[in-house]
Amino acid sequence: MREIVFDTETTGLSPAGGDRMVEIGCIEMIGRIETGRHFHCYFNPGRLLPSEAEAIHGLSDTFLSDKPNFADKVEELLEFIGDSPLVAHNAGFDFGFLNHELNFCGRAPLCLTRMVDTLGLARSRHPGAKHSLDALCTRFGVDRSARVRHGALLDAQLLAQVYVELTGGRQIGLGLGVETPASSASVASAAAIVRPLRAPRPHHASASELARHAQFVAKIANPLWRRFIASTSERGAA
């Protein structure tokens, strides 16, 4: 199955309050394996960047001033993500900004049924633990040494590895994790296979085999079982 793991960087927390997306990074996965294909783009938000946001992702007004508008890249983005499920950490946030940008340029919003939220997965698998991307990378041994600041493409790459661990790890195909509907169907199909019954094979020794065994045993000098039989006989006689 094809899935897209993605992350966004923004000017703030509220698209309804005027905040805009400034970066998106998308990673293609097929069968929980990264294919090497990705989509990455910076956007000119058309507004000044608050210092608090710049401190998080390091993007500045100067850097973004010559970047394209979201509308200029929307066709490439939609073509890349296609109709695949979209995986994000705290996905409601990223979907909110992505759909706001789509609406801003007159495009239909993405259906929320496509949303896969790794934050929700982490909370259900590890209740009471820390669920930030940094904490999950530490838990699953994902190298995040390059993550000095937030960055959409880097964070999507890290999240892709975390997502694999949250959904069964690299041995997902062996059925060692939580059973999925697809694996249930496979089990059901296997159970429905009817094989012809085979008559049981005889396991008793033939007369000739018993005779050969007796000849072999007779050649053994002072076997242990004869001592045991003799000892048992003496105790019985007493």
Residues carrying an active site annotation: 150
Alpha helices in the chain (DSSP H): 51-57, 61-64, 70-81, 91-104, 118-125, 133-140, 152-166, 181-191, 207-218, 224-237
Structural contact between residues 5 and 160, judged by C-beta atoms closer than 8 angstroms: yes
Local structure of 123: helix, strand or coil = helix
**Cβ proximity of 99 and 91 under 8 Å:** no
Chain-centroid distance, C-alpha 91: 16
Joined together, the tokens standing for residue 93 give: 């946030």
Report the b/e string of 81-111 with b at 16+ CB within 10 A: beebebbbbebebbbbbbbbbbebeebeebe
Report the distance separating Cα 63 and Cα 119, nearest Å. Answer: 31
